[in-house]
Amino acid sequence: MKITKEEAQEMLSDERFPRSGKYDPQWVLANQMGPNALWLTESLCGRMTLEPGMRVLDMGCGMAMSSIFLAKEYGVRVWANDLWISAADNHKRIVEAGLEDLVTPVRAEAHSLLYEHDYFDAAISVDSFHYYGTSDTYLSYFTSFLKPDAQVGIASPGLIKDFEGDLPTYLTEEDDRGDSFWEPKEHWSFHTANWWRNHWEHTGVVSIEHAAAMKDGWSIWLKFDEVAVAAAEPMPLLGPPDQNTGNALRADRGEYLGIIEINARVRE
């Protein structure tokens, strides 16, 4: 890490996320794959009721930081499901955290799940659902693994409002390596809170309890990105963070970019 642990701790401390502040900053930065997974999980869980022993599916958990957080903070049993990160890799982190009795790592594609139906009491997805969950039928498939009345929480980067006309140039301008913030293959799955609300409501399988952009989400995302860039800790699969995310967020200042959060319950 290019900054000291104390500097990272100071930069990451945020009174909005007291539980996340207890975690080793080096661990958080070494396992980051986007906006701080702990902050997003803590925010989602603030609107959920999680009791020890509940079965929770953590879909697209990446390096399983959110799964470890759920087990440590709430005593729930977690299935840490990811595609790009292997179960063996996540198992190492789970054992290091002393949580092998509570967290089970699983490598599975989001459309090929082998869980029992009506199995989970809750499911969360952090910075992940937009990669696989935007089709009209996915929510019904996903919730088939959850019990009636189970809680669902997703937090993902998304849009504050839809674009009118062309994308702002600050999203598409290329750096000296030819990379830009906006990658068409990924970012057209960014949507507004209202888009998610309508998309989920018309399926009839959940009741929406909350669908909104996180307050100051862009600045929370930027704050974490700035620590990640200063620490220059390589991101899993991607290498050191570049300046594109920070530049886009600083230019946008929350006009289009933000963090979208949805909490819902599976209908009986």
Binding site for ligand SAM (CB under 6 A): 33-34, 37, 60-62, 66, 82-85, 109-110, 126-128, 131-132
Angstrom distance (rounded) from CA 49 to CA 175: 44
Buried b (16+ CB within 10 A) or exposed e, 133-160: bbeeebbeebbebbbeebbbbbbbbbbb
Q: How far is the CB of 115 from ligand SAM (least distance, A)?
A: 13
- To ligand SAM, the closest distance from the beta carbon of 166 in angstroms equals 26
In 3D, which of 151, 156, 148 has the Cα closest to residue 126? 156
Residue 165 or 184 with smaller CB distance to ligand SAM: 184
Work out how close the CB of 109 gets to ligand SAM at its nearest, in angstroms, rounded to a whole number: 5
Name which of 132 and 170 has its Cβ closer to ligand SAM: 132
Query: How many CB atoms within 10 Å of residue 182?
Result: 17
Instruction: Give CA separation, 247 vs 60, 101, 202, 226, 241, in Å.
Output: 26, 42, 36, 10, 12
Task: Tell me the pairing of strands 77-82 and 55-59.
Answer: parallel
C-beta of 37: minimal distance to ligand SAM in Å? Answer: 3
> Of 136 and 166, which has the nearer Cβ to ligand SAM?
136
- Residue whose CB is less far from ligand SAM, 87 or 201: 87
- Which residue has the CB atom at the shortest distance from ligand SAM? 62
CB of 131 vs ligand SAM, minimal distance in Å: 4
Of 138 and 195, nearer to ligand SAM (C-beta) is: 138
Task: Write the DSSP assignment of 142-173 as a string of letters.
Answer: HHTTEEEEEEEEEEEEEESS---SSPPHHHH-
Nearer to ligand SAM, 57 or 110 (CB): 110
At its nearest, how many Å lie between ligand SAM and the CB of residue 165? 28
* Angstrom distance (rounded) from CA 175 to CA 228: 18
